[in-house]
Amino acid sequence: MTATPAAAHDRPRRHRPYRRERNRPTISVGTIAWAAVVVLFILLRVGVIWRAPVGGAELAHLSGAWQARIGVEDERYVPTFYQAVSALTLGWSESEVPARSLAFAATLTIPLALFLLRRHLGAGGALLALLLLALDPAGIILGVTATASAWDSAIAVWLVVALVASRPPPWGWAPIAFLVATSGPLTLPVVLAAVAIAAWRRARPDSEALIWGLLGTALGLFLTTLQFGVGADGLRIAPVRLFVTSFDEAWSTLTVAQLAPLYGLPLLAGGAVAGAWMVLRLRAERRVPTPPEVLLPGAAALAFGWFLLALPTTSPFALAAATFYASFLLGPALARAISFLISADWRPHGYLLAITFGLIAIGFFVLSDWGREGRIGGADERVLVAIPVFFGLMALSVLALALVSSLREELPLALLPTLVGGGLLLLVGASGVALSAAGEPLPGPTSPPAARAIRDIAVDAAASRGHIVIHERYREQLTWPFRASPEVVLASQVPADAGVVIWPIEAPPPEGFVALEGRWVLERSLAGPTSVLEAIHWFGQRNSLSEELELVVIYVRRP
């Protein structure tokens, strides 16, 4: 086809504005969104490094790392690679901050990994997954505090990248395998899912990559078995060991079943729905699922299985694993839901949404008022709650029915209140953990600053009087606050050469000693809400939970 002179004349004019656009520096909305989410991701974590008390799994694992640093074999030293590194940092500084900083540094790579996964999760899906990870309260604690699993989420997400989004060189599998073999249990779901999928698809790994991987694994197992130089006590596989002991150890004041509604409900419920929806969609589309569409649901299913089994246990790892993998399912699902919401015609049913939100808000305000007062209100107030709840549910039902029957594509509108509610819960949980850690039951129980103060006073007093003697009941609790102290004697009865005695408050005072005045707290824990009202109150007022203190008495020998 030949261009007319007029058309030839028009061409440069058409191109001019395009050229101008290309030359002008532009920032897309997507970039801004990524930047905003990354900043949120960082902001929600950075304060935790200094603010969060040492508690729960972190207290146990830092104690283990300290024991490793001074060359004492201890069951609390698992060790993962991170725990070995944190033991190293305790040689430079007695503070937990360097170890936490290293955990935070590794966690900071997660946004980059998500960015690399955006082709596989979808741009919006990856961004929303990152947002959910940023807001995940369990993830915030796990990614910054110095538990043995601090690097797990970073390793797991990079393992996903290596498996689905990039092709590492064969030698690259050596460090990957090493990191996985020396990591905590959060990587296990991905590893098991990958092995199962490889078996299912009869995929044979490249032999060179396999050899490098085996070398990395062997090195990892060799080092964990030698406890990174502390000693050898049989074969140790760090992820397996942590997984197994998480069922028996008390690394949290609350059980997983109690923690889940407080911190994980939106992600867990959303993840489960997203997973089911993904399966239905794949069946409907009748296509071969892509690698992440198999790997991530597989890993999430395993993590959910772990979570369900761990419900009665007191370890937060299972919850963290479930919310972590749920985010990868929920992110892409939310992206689709949001695009539906944007394209849906809100006008016919907008009034129903407004009514729903309004009624829910009224109901919530009354309930929170009851929660604050710690009692259920009178008959008139009950009616005040019953009416909005009834009409709210009615409105939701009408909305859902109307949409299902006439305009199926607008069905996500019915989910909007749930999404908003879930988002609010997530925000409250994340901000609570990130900003007001002292009022959170996660982590718990904690070693308060007062415990270190006990140590300082005891050391000062013991200088002129004799040994520091601590009741044997506090064997586990004393390691961290009493690190780098003079010789400490653990005893169940007061020895004759004791100078300072730290004894349970209910035990009879030892003869020849006087008690130092003060309220000495060795350990602090927060009890979870015991009723729905208490939980509602706690969501609004984070410092409302009752605390349990392990009080001790400091006795010094009479001069």
Binding site for another protein (CB under 8 A): 70, 72, 192, 195-196, 199-202, 234-235, 237, 240-241, 243-248, 302, 309, 312-313, 470, 472, 475, 478-479, 482-493, 495
Task: Please say which residue, 132 or 299, places its beta carbon nearer to another protein.
Answer: 299
CB of 241 to another protein, least distance (A): 6
Task: Please say which residue, 249 or 293, places its beta carbon nearer to another protein.
Answer: 249
* Angle in degrees, CA 196, 201, 205, rounded to 5: 80
Task: Please say which residue, 491 or 549, places its beta carbon nearer to another protein.
Answer: 491
CB of 417 to another protein, least distance (A): 34
For 151, the 3-state DSSP assignment is coil
Task: Please say which residue, 107 or 227, places its beta carbon nearer to another protein.
Answer: 227
The answer to whether the beta carbons of residues 344 and 409 sit under 8 Å apart is: yes
Report DSSP state, residue 509.
P
Question: How many Å apart are CA 139 and CA 361, to the nearest integer?
Answer: 29
CB of 247 to another protein, least distance (A): 4
For 406, the 3-state DSSP assignment is coil
The answer to whether the beta carbons of residues 153 and 187 sit under 8 Å apart is: no
Task: Please say which residue, 244 or 404, places its beta carbon nearer to another protein.
Answer: 244
CB of 184 to another protein, least distance (A): 13
The answer to whether the beta carbons of residues 73 and 64 sit under 8 Å apart is: no
Question: How many Å apart are CA 443 and CA 525, to the nearest integer?
Answer: 9
Task: Please say which residue, 409 or 497, places its beta carbon nearer to another protein.
Answer: 497
From the list 104, 64, 105, the residue with the least C-alpha distance to 84 is 64
CB of 188 to another protein, least distance (A): 8
Strands 498-504 and 467-471: parallel
Task: Find the length of the chain.
Answer: 559
CB of 526 to another protein, least distance (A): 22
Question: How many Å apart are CA 434 and CA 103, to the nearest integer?
Answer: 15
Q: Alpha carbon 227 to chain centroid distance?
A: 26
CB of 46 to another protein, least distance (A): 31
Q: String of b and e for 337-350 (b: at least 16 CB within 10 Å)?
A: beeebeebeeeebe
CB of 308 to another protein, least distance (A): 11
Residues 6+ apart with CB under 8 A from 559: none
Task: Please say which residue, 345 or 472, places its beta carbon nearer to another protein.
Answer: 472
From the list 243, 237, 199, the residue with the least C-alpha distance to 221 is 237
Question: How many Å apart are CA 143 and CA 151, to the nearest integer?
Answer: 7
Say how many C-beta atoms besides its own lie within 10 A of residue 462's C-beta.
Answer: 22
CB of 305 to another protein, least distance (A): 8
Residues 6+ apart with CB under 8 A from 357: 417, 420
Task: Please say which residue, 259 or 536, places its beta carbon nearer to another protein.
Answer: 259
Task: Please say which residue, 16 or 201, places its beta carbon nearer to another protein.
Answer: 201
CB of 269 to another protein, least distance (A): 22
Task: Please say which residue, 39 or 203, places its beta carbon nearer to another protein.
Answer: 203
Beta strands in 218-272 (DSSP E): none
For 447, the 3-state DSSP assignment is strand
